[in-house]
Structure 1
Amino acid sequence: MTKEAIKTIILVILVAFSLFLTIALWNYQPNLETVNQGDGLIEETNIGGTEENIRSLLTPKQIIYHNNGTHYGYQEEEHIGEAFRRMQTWSIFNLSISEADIPEGGDVLEIVFPSTLTSETIRNIFQMENQDVTLPGLSFDRVFVQMSEEEAEVRFLSPDGERMLQGSMRFENASQLRSELDNTSLWREYMMFQEDEERRIFLPSEQIDVAKDVIVTESLPSKPLKNVLFDDPTVVKQFPLSGGDLRHSDSLSRMDLVAGQKKMKYQNPVTESSNVSSTTFNTQEILNESVSFINNHYGFTDPFRVHDIRSTYGDIMFSMYYNERPILKDTEDFTSMSIRFEEGVLQEYIRPMVTVDPYQSYPDVSEDEQVSTLASGETIETVIENSPQYNQSEVTDIVIGYKLDSQGGGFSNYYDLIPAWFVQVNGTWQEMTDIDSVVRRGGGT
């Protein structure tokens, strides 16, 4: 066979092989599985809640109207939120520091916030006519608005009661406020607890009806939180704990699902060898960082409000609200959310792993049986003054809130939501359980 014939054969073979490979590539179907975003991709970080802004989370816990020595509070709790949204349109200007002077006499509105806030937070609450102005450094926990015929003066009082930020409010805002104060159907009479001008705790003068309810919990997904909280979720291992609880750990940080997996506790130990900034957060930074962090995984799964910010400890706590009132007692402790920073790094994150929904409650009872009639402020004052359970000097607040009673002894997702009086002693809420005995002894109504 000649050399030319061999070349021709080789060329034919190569062409045929090329055609075979081309046809094979055309007909090849890769055996790939479709990856579901819900199966735990790193990108899956949404636990199903909403994003919230700082304004909504700082809704005042109380708004009191003082009229020539008589105190009034809103008839319905939802009016506080509605009034606060209108206040956010107020235009504040000419702020300066002065000695504290709580206005007396005439018409005064007192707005009580749930925690001590910095002056920078004023930008998150009200409109500033000059957004570029440098605000004086001062903390506050309540705001007074003193009304006159033509203007309104705004005073942000520091918790120590020694200094305040004083400013002015536009006439049109004051006129709007005046019309609301004149609407007597919005208000009920309140009393000042022990006439104590320093603590300034206000209670409804008469008995008050508060709705009961039944709620049901629904579980939240844990994979998105694992993706958020661990640097490399692929190395995280899962371990069973007692009582059906679970632990996720990457050997340094851990995320525990406890209380029947209705609550999550994450801890990230910060050590000297950690490559982190040594700076700490102030109150405003804690607020900004925590809200941004929770929003990034849509973590506001129920109505929450700021309960307390402690810059000394680098932490913030949010309370869950229902019917515009805080849930202050539940045996499984899953109705609050807290974040703690150390050296500017997330150190601890505790939150519910359930969301709360109303249930078709009390279908066979009358409307009167769907409410609880709670004792008057006078009775509450008498109980605290006469009960050995409380040290009067340590009482810092008194409110009506809710307690949760499980319908299945902790194994059920159904809970009775029961209104009750709570007293705060040294920062801790306690349900007032001896009211009826005081009433029976003639101590109030």
Structure 2
Amino acid sequence: MYETIKTIVLTLLVLISITLTFALWTYHPKYDVLQNDEYIQHVSVSNTQVDTAMVVQPKQILIHKNGVPYAVTKDEEKNEVLKEMRRWTLDDFEDVSSSVPQGKFLSFLNGKERLEIIYPDEVPIDIYRLIFTIDDRGLDGLAFDRLLVPLGGKDEFPIYFIATDKRKIYKAIASDASLSAIGRLAKEASHFPRYFAYPVSETKQLYLPEKEVVLSSLQYYTDELDADKFKEALFSDPSFVKKDLIPFGEEYTDGSRLMDVDFLQRMLLYVNPAARVSNMGQTEQETHIIQKSIDFVNEHGGWTDLYHFARWSEEDRKVTFRLVVNGYPVFNEYGMSEIVETWGASDLMKYQRPLFRLEIADRNRTPKTLPSGHEVVNWFEQTKGVRKSLIKDIAIGYELIKDPEREKVIRLEPAWFYLYGQTWKKVNMGDEAGGGGTNGLE
């Protein structure tokens, strides 16, 4: 009898042990949705901090002299222009759009003896206030993509803020102003690269170089960014975060937010679905999403290379920053050259970025001659399927290409690119019938 009881007890203990072991192996905790949407930055990916003026940069600065546009291409000269303008006080904004007759908008832009500053997208006045000294307070909701400064003024003169797509022109008065640096560059303008205007609509023209441009192909050794640091920066409580291996990458989640790491493209994607709300409008008191996006990356030291503001969508609440190398934008069809942020009403909803930084430039550089602007225009005119009305921008830049043999090496190949609708494409001069290819380069 005793042996029977002993056997039963031992059997029960073994069964209980097996049950507990199985439960431990198969247990998957349910993570509660975190109510606190504030980001707790425990670590920084880098020590780099930037201000608005460093990120929101013009894509072109031109000096119009005797009816010819000359491009200011050197970074130090561009910085001289902007530094001088930041010392001005801008006030007394006035809408003068009606003073320019219908059909004469481009003629106004082509006026003689003036400096033209062109941004890659319309920049809201709230952002201009962070770059320049603007005293006028009655300008809510305005955004401009070009500034015109007539040359030859002294102490006080007009400056024009222009929204080309909306055909809006606002005149402001610059006071306490000097044109010494700009005037010096204007005197030297004939030594700068000569450009020409290519009209793409009744209100917009793009400036392209008259001659061929020589740029070198580049190679960079890259440094991987630590995904765990982003985990600690992006999740409110990293201790709740679970990490799983997925095909070609890793997945992090706290049950509410998700962060995917793509080993193949060396990209990070963070998603916070709870931030998606029906009321997507921006309140008057809210910091503009361009500034919020800059601040957000600053908070975790995410400016690991030089990125400039590229474009934004008020409707989608989306802001894009693009990698810049030697003053030229960098494009990649998988988004490997962009930092993209999408916002809900107040919180970040989506964050996509590269997980590498450019570290060491290879000394081997191969010069490449790019076609002139005129040749590119001819290509557009002769290529089937390309509608001029959909060409929003044209630029020389680099295509970022992964080295197929060396995992940590990327190549930057010079090329012409054009923004067609909402997608950047590479100009393929040998593909007149294909409309420049179907792959978008972002």
**TM-score when normalising by structure 2:** 0.80
Residue 349 (str. 1) matches residue 344 (str. 2): no
Whether the 8 Å CA contact 2:70–2:189 is kept in 1: the answer is no
Whether the 8 Å CA contact 2:41–2:234 is kept in 1: the answer is no
SS of residue paired to 2:274: coil
1:32-431 alignment, distance < 5 Å:
44-76=42-74, 79-99=77-97, 101=100, 102-128=108-134, 130=135, 133-135=137-139, 137-148=141-152, 150=154, 152-170=157-175, 172-184=177-189, 187-194=192-199, 198-243=203-248, 245-260=249-264, 262-270=266-274, 280=282, 285-329=288-332, 332-362=334-364, 370-408=366-404, 412-431=407-426
SS of residue paired to 1:188: coil
SS of residue paired to 1:201: strand
Q: Which moved more, 1:291-300 or 1:400-409?
A: 400-409
Whether the 8 Å CA contact 1:139–1:159 is kept in 2: the answer is no
Distance 1:303 1:49, change over 3 A: farther
Whether the 8 Å CA contact 2:400–2:411 is kept in 1: the answer is yes
Q: Which moved more, 1:201-210 or 1:105-114?
A: 105-114
Q: Matches of 2:280 and 2:97 in 1, distance apart?
A: 35
How far apart are residue 121 of structure 1 and its match?
Answer: 2.1
Q: Matches of 1:115 and 1:211 in 2, distance apart?
A: 27
- Give the letter aligned to residue 228 of structure 2: K
Q: Matches of 2:415 and 2:389 in 1, distance apart?
A: 22
How far apart are residue 377 of structure 1 and its match?
Answer: 0.8
Q: Matches of 2:275 and 2:157 in 1, distance apart?
A: 52
How far apart are residue 136 of structure 1 and its match?
Answer: 5.2
Distance 1:126 1:175, change over 3 A: same
Whether the 8 Å CA contact 2:383–2:432 is kept in 1: the answer is no
Whether the 8 Å CA contact 2:63–2:189 is kept in 1: the answer is no
Q: Matches of 1:241 and 1:247 in 2, distance apart?
A: 7
Q: Matches of 1:197 and 1:184 in 2, distance apart?
A: 27
Q: Matches of 2:287 and 2:164 in 1, distance apart?
A: 16
SS of residue paired to 2:96: strand
- State the percentage of identical aligned residues: 23
SS of residue paired to 2:336: coil
How far apart are residue 124 of structure 1 and its match?
Answer: 1.5
Distance 1:79 1:427, change over 3 A: farther
SS of residue paired to 1:193: strand
Q: Matches of 1:312 and 1:168 in 2, distance apart?
A: 32
Q: Matches of 2:176 and 2:53 in 1, distance apart?
A: 23
Distance 1:258 1:299, change over 3 A: same
Which digits, 9 at most, give the CA deviation of each residue in 1:349-383, with x for residues without a partner? 11111111232321xxxxxx632111101100000
How far apart are residue 277 of structure 1 and its match?
Answer: 8.2
Which digits, 9 at most, give the CA deviation of each residue in 1:63-122, with x for residues without a partner? 122223211112445533443333322332322222264354331111111121222222
**TM-score when normalising by structure 1:** 0.79
Corresponding residue of 1:443 = none
User: Any stretches of 5+ residues in structure 1 without a counterpart?
Assistant: 1-41, 363-368, 439-445
Distance 1:191 1:360, change over 3 A: same
Whether the 8 Å CA contact 1:138–1:165 is kept in 2: the answer is no
How far apart are residue 328 of structure 1 and its match?
Answer: 1.1
Distance 1:119 1:333, change over 3 A: closer
Distance 1:388 1:332, change over 3 A: same
Whether the 8 Å CA contact 1:91–1:173 is kept in 2: the answer is no
The structure having more radius of gyration, on CA atoms, is 1
How far apart are residue 326 of structure 1 and its match?
Answer: 0.8
Aligned residues between the structures: 384
- Give the letter aligned to residue 206 of structure 2: I
User: Any stretches of 5+ residues in structure 2 without a counterpart?
Assistant: 1-39, 101-107, 434-442
How far apart are residue 271 of structure 1 and its match?
Answer: 7.0
How far apart are residue 59 of structure 1 and its match?
Answer: 0.8
Distance 1:358 1:437, change over 3 A: farther
Whether the 8 Å CA contact 1:48–1:220 is kept in 2: the answer is no
Distance 1:427 1:271, change over 3 A: closer
Which digits, 9 at most, give the CA deviation of each residue in 1:245-291, with x for residues without a partner? 0000112210000143721100111278x8x9876368961012111
Q: Matches of 2:206 and 2:237 in 1, distance apart?
A: 49
SS of residue paired to 1:121: helix
Q: Matches of 2:337 and 2:318 in 1, distance apart?
A: 17
How far apart are residue 213 of structure 1 and its match?
Answer: 1.3
How far apart are residue 175 of structure 1 and its match?
Answer: 3.8
- Give the letter aligned to residue 112 of structure 1: I
The two structures, once aligned, show a CA RMSD in angstroms of: 2.7
Q: Matches of 1:162 and 1:271 in 2, distance apart?
A: 35
- Give the letter aligned to residue 415 of structure 2: A
- Give the letter aligned to residue 98 of structure 1: V
Whether the 8 Å CA contact 1:108–1:146 is kept in 2: the answer is yes
